[in-house]
Amino acid sequence: MAARAEIAQRTGKKGDTARRTDLTGYLFVLPFLIAYGLFLVWPVILGLRMSFFDWSLVGTGTTDFLGLANYRELFADPDFWASLWHTILFTLLTTPPLVLLALGLALLANRAVPARWFFRLAFFAPYVLPVSTVALIWVWLYQPGFGLINSYLVSLGLPEVDWLAGENVAMISVAIATVWWTIGFNFVLYLAGLQEIPEELYEAGALDGAGSYQQTRYITIPLLSRTTFLVLVLQILASLIVFDQIYIMNTQGGLNYTATRPVIQYIYEQGFTQYRIGFGAAISYVFFVMILVFTIMQFVLSRRRRREA
Amino acid sequence: MTVTEARTPGEIQEKTAGTGRRRLGNWLAFGVLLVAAIIWLIPLAWAIDTALKTEADTTVIPVSWIPPSGFTFESFVEVLSAGNMLRWYFNSALTSSAITVIVVVLASLAAFGISRVPFRGRSVVFWLILAGLMVPPQVLIVPLFTEMDFFGLIDTYPGIILPQIASPLAVFIFKQFFDGLPHELEDAARVDGASRLRIYWQIWMPLSRPVIAAVAIFTFVLSWNNFILPFIMVTNTEMMTIPVGLATVQSSYGVRYADIMASAVLGGLPLIIVFLFFQRQLVQGIANTGLKG
C-alpha cells in the first residue's frame, strides 16, 4: 500500500516531492557510501587488479601484466598450502572449545549462583585486552624453566612441555591462549540467548516434574540452537582470519614459525617483506573466495533452517 | 534484553520447587564456576605479579608469587619514563576516538536515510552495505596499503583512521533500532514543517542514546585493539598505537620480563577501566550482533 501511495505520488502532481525525497535519502546515505566505496569497495577492486600484475612495492613498482601467472604460482606453492593448513588447524582447534566451553559456562552462570557479576567479569575481561598484551602474557607463561605453567608441571612431577618451540605443541599453545582471550564474547552471546527463553517454559517444565538436567536438555539446549548456530558461524569466520597473536608470538616469543604461520601472515610477508604485492593480492583473493563460499553456505543453511522451523 | 537483571531459570526453580537437590546443584555449579574463574584470572594475576618484581626475581626457579626481594614499581616507572608508552596511549586515544565519532555519525545518518526516508533504491543500497559484512578487512591489507600509500597517508593519523570508518555492522544495528521506533513523533514533526535533518538530529538522536552508546563503546574497543591495520599503516615508532607498539617491546627491552609484563599490563589497563565503567554497553553491543542471526 505504501508502494502504491508512492507511485501515485510520483506520477501525480507531487512528482517534485518524490524527487526531493529521493535526493534527501541519498544525501543521508552519501557520506557513508563515500567512505564505504573508498575504503572497502575500491580495495576489493584494486586487489583483484593487482593480482594480475607483477606489482612490486619497491621503486616505481614494476607493473607488467602477468595474467593468471600469480595464481598459477600460488597453487603450486607448498608454502601457501602449508599456511592454509595452519589456518584450518587453528580453526579446528579453537572452534569446539570456544563454542562448547562458552555454552557450558553460560549454562552454569545462568543458574541461581552467588556472585554472577564476578564470573562475567572473570570470563569477559580478557576479551577487552589488546592482542599484544595477550600474546606477551602467554609467551611469558609458556617459558621453559621459570615459566609458570612448566614450573607447575614440574612441581606435579610431570615433564616440561616445549610450549612455544615444539613443533606439535605450538599450535595447541596458540589455541589455548586464544580460547582464554576470546571466550568472553561467545559467553556473552550465550547469556543473551538464555535471557530470551521465556520463563513460562521452565515453570511448565518444573510443574511437570522436570529436574534441572531435563530442563537443560529438553528446553534450554534446543531453544538455544539459533544462538549456537550464530556463535559457531561467527567463531569460524573469526578463527579463519587469525594473524595477530600468531605473528606476535612468532616474532616476540620464538613460537615455532614453520608449524604455525597462517594464511594472513603469508600474505603479509609476501606483500610487505618480500615486496611482491601482486602475489600477495592473489593469495588474498583466493583466500577471500574461500571465506565467501563458507559465508554463502552458512547463509543458505540458515535460511533453510528458518524455513523448516 | 539486558543480560544483567533478568531472572534466571535457577531462581524460578527455587520459587516453584525449592528442593535440597536443586540447591546442591547450584552450589556445585558455583564450585565449577569458581574454579574456572580462578584459572581465568591466573594469567592476569601472574602478569601483574611479574611486573611488580625486580628483574632478577622474575627468573628464579622454583617460581614464587612472593618475590624474595619484595615488590617494586620500578618496571612501571621504567616503562613509562623510558619507552614510548605515553605517546602510544595518545595515538590510540586519538585515533580510536576519531574512528568512534565518525562511525557513529556516518552509520546513523545512513541508517536514518534507509529506515526513514522512502527514497527509490534504498533496499539496493541497504543490501550493498550488508554485502560489506562478508569482506574481512584482513584480506584487504595489500590493496589498502597501496591506496593509502598513493594518498601519502602512511605514518599519519588519517592513515590509521580512514580505513576503519566504514562499518556496515554499525549501519545494520542503527537501522534495526530505527525500524522499531514509532512513526508518530516523526509525523507530527513533519506536519510542523521540520526538515528531515532536524528530525534526525532533534528527535532521532536523543531517542537513540542507548544504541549510540552500545555502538560507540564497541567501536572504541575494537579500534583501540585493532592490530593489523595500524600495523601495516605505520612504520615510525612515534606513530604506533598501543597494540602495535607493544608488539615491539621484546625487541627493544631484550629479555626483561618485569619490564615486558609492566608494558603488557599498562597496555591493557585503559580497556579494563573502560570495561569496568561501560560493562553494560559493551555486553549490549555484543548481544546486538546476536540479533542479526
d(CA A16, CA B125): 22
Gap between the terminal Cα atoms of chain A: 29
Classify residue A56: in a domain, yes or no: no
Q: Is the Cβ of A14 closer than 8 Å to some Cβ of chain B?
A: no
Chain centroid to Cα A308, Å, comes to 27
Letter string b/e over residues A71-90, b meaning 16 or more CB atoms within 10 A of that residue's CB = beebeeeeebebbbebbebb
B283–A188: do the CB atoms touch at under 8 Å? yes
Residues 54-83 of A with CB under 8 A from B: 55
Residues 287-306 of A with CB under 8 A from B: 287-288, 291-292, 295, 302
- Kindly list the residues from chain A whose CB atom is less than 8 angstroms away from the CB atom of residue B139: 47, 241, 264, 267, 284-285, 287-288, 291
Q: Is the Cβ of A190 closer than 8 Å to some Cβ of chain B?
A: no
Classify residue A98: in a domain, yes or no: yes
- Search chain B and give the residue with CA nearest A177: B43
Q: Which domains does chain B have, with CATH numbers?
A: 20-77 (no CATH), 83-291 (1.10.3720.10)
Q: Can you tell me the mean pLDDT for B113-140?
A: 91
B29–A111: do the CB atoms touch at under 8 Å? yes
- Kindly list the residues from chain A whose CB atom is less than 8 angstroms away from the CB atom of residue B148: none
Q: Reduced to 3 states, what is the DSSP secondary structure of residue A65?
A: strand
- Whether pLDDT at B37 is above 90: yes
Neighbours of A297 (CB within 10 A): 11
Identify whether the C-beta of residue B230 lies closer than 8 Å to the C-beta of residue A130: no
- Kindly list the residues from chain B whose CB atom is less than 8 angstroms away from the CB atom of residue A215: 9, 13
- Kindly list the residues from chain B whose CB atom is less than 8 angstroms away from the CB atom of residue A241: 136, 138-139
> Is A105 found in the same domain as A44?
no
- Search chain A and give the residue with CA nearest B126: A29
B260–A26: do the CB atoms touch at under 8 Å? no
Residues 150-189 of A with CB under 8 A from B: 151, 154-155, 180, 185, 188-189
Classify residue A67: in a domain, yes or no: no
Q: Can you tell me the mean pLDDT for B216-243?
A: 93
d(CA A140, CA A147): 6
> Is A244 found in the same domain as A102?
yes
Q: Can you tell me the mean pLDDT for B1-6?
A: 42
Classify residue A299: in a domain, yes or no: no
Name the residue type at position A65. F
d(CA A178, CA A92): 13
A40–B135: do the CB atoms touch at under 8 Å? yes
B43–A292: do the CB atoms touch at under 8 Å? no
Q: Is the Cβ of B24 closer than 8 Å to some Cβ of chain A?
A: no
> Is A120 found in the same domain as A33?
no
A288: closest CA of chain B, how far (Å) = 6
How large is the ipTM? 0.87
Per-residue pLDDT reduced to its tens digit, B242-284: 999 998 877 666 678 899 999 999 999 999 898 888 887 777 7
| pLDDT score at B82 | 81
| pLDDT score at B13 | 46
- Kindly list the residues from chain A whose CB atom is less than 8 angstroms away from the CB atom of residue B245: 132
The length of chain B, given as a count of residues: 293
Name the residue type at position B63. V
Classify residue A57: in a domain, yes or no: no
**Nearby residues of B17 by Cβ (< 8 Å), 6 or more positions away:** A206
User: Mutate which of B58, B142, B171, B199 to disrupt the A interface (most A C-beta within 10 Å)?
Assistant: B142
C-alpha cell at B20: 535440597
Where among A50, A68, A90 does a domain terminate?
Answer: A50
Residue B144 banded pLDDT, cuts 50, 70, 90: very high
> Is A181 found in the same domain as A91?
yes
C-alpha cell at A77: 606453492
> Is A93 found in the same domain as A232?
yes
| pLDDT score at A21 | 85
Q: Is the Cβ of A131 closer than 8 Å to some Cβ of chain B?
A: yes
Q: Reduced to 3 states, what is the DSSP secondary structure of residue A53?
A: strand
Classify residue A308: in a domain, yes or no: no
Q: Identify which has the larger pLDDT, B67 or B285.
A: B67
> Is A174 found in the same domain as A101?
yes
Distances, alpha carbon A303 to alpha carbons A240, A306, A309, B135, B251, in Å: 23, 5, 10, 20, 50
- Whether pLDDT at B10 is above 90: no
Omega prior to B62 cis, within 30 of 0: yes
DSSP B228: H
| pLDDT score at B233 | 95
Q: In sequence order, what DSSP letters do the residues of A257-287 get, joined into one string? A: STTT--HHHHHHIIIIIS--HHHHHHHHHHH
Per-residue pLDDT of chain A (309 residues; tens, 9 = 90+): 445 455 544 455 557 788 888 888 899 999 999 999 999 999 999 999 888 887 776 655 556 777 888 899 999 999 999 999 999 999 999 999 999 999 999 999 988 788 888 888 899 999 999 999 999 999 999 998 888 999 999 989 999 999 999 999 999 999 999 999 999 999 999 988 888 888 777 778 777 777 777 788 788 888 888 889 889 988 999 999 999 999 999 998 889 999 999 999 999 999 988 888 889 999 999 999 999 999 888 888 888 877 776
> Is A130 found in the same domain as A229?
yes
> Is A36 found in the same domain as A87?
no
> Is A254 found in the same domain as A113?
yes
Classify residue A74: in a domain, yes or no: no
| pLDDT score at B116 | 87
Q: Which domain holds residue A29?
A: 2-50
Q: Is the Cβ of B280 closer than 8 Å to some Cβ of chain A?
A: no
Question: What is the total count of domains within chain A?
Answer: 2
- Kindly list the residues from chain A whose CB atom is less than 8 angstroms away from the CB atom of residue B16: 203, 206-207
Q: Is the Cβ of B142 closer than 8 Å to some Cβ of chain A?
A: yes
d(CA B285, CA B136): 19
- Kindly list the residues from chain B whose CB atom is less than 8 angstroms away from the CB atom of residue A55: 146
> Is A152 found in the same domain as A16?
no
Give me the residue from B113, B283, B293 closest to A230, CB to CB: B293
A114–B30: do the CB atoms touch at under 8 Å? yes
Identify whether the C-beta of residue B169 lies closer than 8 Å to the C-beta of residue B195: no
Residue B288 banded pLDDT, cuts 50, 70, 90: low
Decide: residue B79, CB within 10 A, 0-12 exposed, 13-18 middle, 19+ buried.
buried
- Kindly list the residues from chain B whose CB atom is less than 8 angstroms away from the CB atom of residue A120: 3, 279, 283
> Is A43 found in the same domain as A94?
no
> Is A98 found in the same domain as A46?
no
- Search chain A and give the residue with CA nearest B11: A112
Residues 36-75 of B with CB under 8 A from A: 36-37, 40-44, 46-47, 50, 58-63
Neighbours of B148 (CB within 10 A): 23
Q: Is the Cβ of B11 closer than 8 Å to some Cβ of chain A?
A: yes
d(CA B45, CA B256): 18
| pLDDT score at B292 | 44
- Whether pLDDT at B6 is above 60: no
- Kindly list the residues from chain A whose CB atom is less than 8 angstroms away from the CB atom of residue B113: 24-29
Write the CATH number for A267.
1.10.3720.10
Q: Can you tell me the mean pLDDT for B133-142?
A: 91
A211: closest CA of chain B, how far (Å) = 8
- Kindly list the residues from chain A whose CB atom is less than 8 angstroms away from the CB atom of residue B260: 136, 140
